[in-house]
Amino acid sequence: MDSKYFGIITDKDFINKEAIHQDSYLVEKNLFRKKEVLKLTTKRDDLNIGQIIGSGYIQDMVYDCKPVKELLKEIYLFFIAVYKGGIKGASYSFFSDFDKLTYGKQKGDTYQYARDQFMNIFESICPKQYHFLKMDNNGTPRLESVFKSLKNRQDMAVFDLEKERNLIIQFLTGNRAYFNRELFETNLTVVDIVNFEGHLITLLDLNNEYEFEKETCFSPKSRVDLLYEAFEGKMEIDVLRFIDVCINEIRDKYHSYLVALFFSLKNLHKIHVVEKVFREEIAKHYKIKKLGVLKVSDSSNQEYVKRLDYYTKKWELFSKPEGV
């Protein structure tokens, strides 16, 4: 994969320099940041400024150098790309057995088995300290979301990479040979990432098939979901789905069709935001350049009347319950 950080350090002797010199360069290039940490030492009588006696120890405030978050994310994605074979292998191994056991059965008959497997895998890769909880009516903490918990677990795995200094330096100096099968088999951090990502694929695939939970943490949000958030819930989701269908059908004359679409829904009392907000969000999410104000210049224009009628009838069909 392409990375703005892989091989960014071209000094071949960099890896042999002392850590203090490496840190100075890395901070200067905004690859690392200085971070204040407390260092505990044994208690002594001659206190220096900045030292605090606590629990029999001296607490010194010192600076430590840690990689920036963006760099850690790049390294994590690099691992996923380099070790994709091992990641896919974990998922393939699961479904090889799962498909044999469920072959020929109706989805309803395999739901409970799939759910049990799903939760077993989740609990094996996401310990309780990563669980995303909510309080029930009795004030008891309950698991709110499997996938929010898994995202939390993944985020912490990214953060934990900061402990792998040598690995980070090898990445920054572009030593591709370092990231080989031996590293995958011996480095516990890499092993954990590959194991987690392989099982995550399995959980996502199971969820796509059995719909245990609505998932938006790892799959890209749909344009409809993004619009719903942009309109702060003031537009019904079915109306936004209808708008999405209509806009995707438009091939030219975007402004003319959007004027008719906007006013047909406004007349039906389905639009609950002002024209400016509607127009700007539609233009942004559908990448429509220079979209003018949505207003009717001539309500008697036959082309406008046809489009208005078209969208009104289209909504009636779209919103009609199935089987009616």
Which tens digits make up the pLDDT trace of 74-110? Answer: 999 999 989 999 999 989 999 999 999 999 999 899 9
Co-location of 151 and 165 in the same domain: yes
Residue 137 pLDDT > 90: no
What number is the average pLDDT over the span 225-245?
A: 88
Co-location of 22 and 129 in the same domain: no
pLDDT band at 289 (very low <50, low <70, confident <90, very high): confident
Of the two residues 227 and 153, the one the predictor is more confident about is: 153
pLDDT band at 320 (very low <50, low <70, confident <90, very high): confident
Co-location of 204 and 236 in the same domain: no
Distance CA 246, CA 187 (A): 52
- Spatial contact of 161 and 5, defined as CB atoms under 8 Å apart: no
For tokens 């949505």, what's the residue?
A: 294
Residue 28 pLDDT > 90: yes
- What is the number of domains present in the chain? 3
Q: Enter the tokens of residue 125.
A: 């890769």
- Grouping H, G, I as helix, E, B as strand and the rest as coil, residue 251 is coil
- From 187, 210, 233, the end of a domain falls on 210
Co-location of 57 and 81 in the same domain: no
Co-location of 59 and 97 in the same domain: no
Co-location of 54 and 98 in the same domain: no
Distance CA 246, CA 314 (A): 9
* For helices 84-102 and 107-125, angle between their N-to-C axes, nearest 10 degrees: 140
Co-location of 196 and 80 in the same domain: yes
Q: Enter the tokens of residue 272.
A: 């609950």
> What pLDDT, on a 0 to 100 scale, did the predictor assign at position 40?
61
Which residues have CB under 8 Å from 127's CB, separation 6+? 153
Which tens digits make up the pLDDT trace of 169-209? Answer: 999 999 999 999 999 999 999 999 999 999 999 999 999 99
Co-location of 273 and 162 in the same domain: no
Identify whether 249 is part of a domain: yes
Co-location of 47 and 101 in the same domain: no
Residue 14 pLDDT > 90: yes
What number is the average pLDDT over the span 233-257?
A: 89
- From 210, 235, 250, the end of a domain falls on 210
> What pLDDT, on a 0 to 100 scale, did the predictor assign at position 41?
62
- Grouping H, G, I as helix, E, B as strand and the rest as coil, residue 231 is coil
pTM of the shown model: 0.68
- From 156, 178, 210, the end of a domain falls on 210
Domain that holds residue 58: 14-67
